[in-house]
Homo-oligomer: A and B are copies of this chain.
Amino acid sequence: MRVGILGGGQLARMMAEAGGPMGLTFEFLDPSATACAGALGALHVGAWDDPDGLDHLAACDRVTCDFENVPAAVLADLAGRTRVYPPPAAFAGAQDRLVEKRLLEQLGIPIAPVAAVDGRPDLLAAVEQIGYPCVLKTRRLGYDGKGQAVLYSHEDLEPAWQTLGGQELILEGWIDFRHECALTAVRSGAGEIRYYPLSRTVHQRGVLRLAASMHQPPPALRQQAEVAVGALLDHLEYVGCLTLEFFATEDGLIANEYAPRPHNSAHWTIEGAVCSQFENHLRAVCGLPLGSTRRRGHSVMLNWLGELPDAAAFLRIPGLAWHDYHKQPRPGRKLGHATLTTDTLAELHAGVESVRPLLDPETASLLDRLAL
């Protein structure tokens, strides 16, 4: 079976790493000639609506995405020519924060207070309604903390407007969270849903830095997350893996955003679950039976941003697996990750203490926020 992927970044690359042993072959469409998945399949370089590239994808048995901002018209065109999973409708919410929030609200999933901001007068009204602190966000094309500004007081309004004004925005209430977490699940074409264990996540300046498999989440937390993700998957008649990110507060989970694709918070499933999110995404997309989402031991994942550290120092740590995305370094760019997976929690703690001195002090201090 041949799978076409819109996007050729690290998510496409890890899909190809998981899918090759299952007998799948891959075609990628990406605007960049150096897209890192290219080494593992046929790379077609072109814009998202490049007719020749789309013809190549349309000739595949299945098409999926490693990127949620593919234009809706492209997805609709492909869906008329081959099987596209997740279904294109799932991307509407993922491409527009206001549509996303309204959908979550409609499904009864708790979210932060939110207001549309289409112009400067809306902003003042929204601040009045929501209060400080709050977060001004672009409705479209925001990721990794980009396109956001936190407003603590009236003084922050003008600078934020200067940066973000002139496009469709939303204003969201600030959530005073205890910690962040995310739930990844996979849904088959027949409607079967399997949930991974919750991931505890730690962001730094809006970018995911650390994630860990939660070994004993409070049952109510897990249940709330599964009910929310299940409702979303069923509503979207979803096929593939999806991740919903949450803030955990005193009053339970507040949903933040979802990603209709494999997600950074679940990279630890490659070593730390029976069947990884990448393999399960492809199993669902290709109509194969879903794999077990059960945890194997305990895992912590660290993202490498901007530059890859020397692997050798890390590879001395038992149970540490390396993932180099083969991307050119660029400040802040996700270049790879490492996952530490151990049989026992005691071994995980020991491994983390071996990792700590190899990290810069700021990242090292984030480890404590995983509360392992």
Residues of A bordering B, CB below 8 Å:
17, 20-23, 25, 39-41, 274-275, 283, 288-289, 291-292, 294, 296-297, 308, 311-312, 315-316, 318-319, 321-324, 326, 336, 341, 343
Contacts and interface: CB of A to CB of B under 8 A. Distances in A.
A23 B296 contact: no
Contact of A23 (B17, B21, B22, B311): B311
Nearest to A321: B21
Contact of A323 (B21, B25, B315): B21
B291 A315 contact: yes
Contacts of A322: 21-23
A291 B311 CA distance: 12
A311 B24 CA distance: 12
A323 B17 CA distance: 12
B319 A292 contact: yes
A318 B293 CA distance: 9
A239 to B, nearest CB: 16
Nearest to A337: B21
A365 to B, nearest CB: 26
Contacts of A341: 274
B321 A292 contact: no
Given A40-B40, A274-B319, A292-B318, A308 B23 contact: yes
18 contacts: A17-B17, A20-B40, A20-B326, A22-B322, A23-B311, A23-B322, A23-B324, A23-B326, A25-B39, A25-B326, A39-B40, A40-B40, A274-B319, A274-B341, A289-B315, A291-B318, A292-B319, A296-B343
Given A274-B341, A283-B315, 5 more contacts: A17-B21, A21-B321, A22-B311, A274-B319, A296-B297
Contacts of A336: 23
A212 B41 CA distance: 32
A298 to B, nearest CB: 12
A274 B318 contact: yes
Contacts of A17: 17, 20-21
Given A288-B315, A289-B316, A296-B296, A21 B324 contact: yes
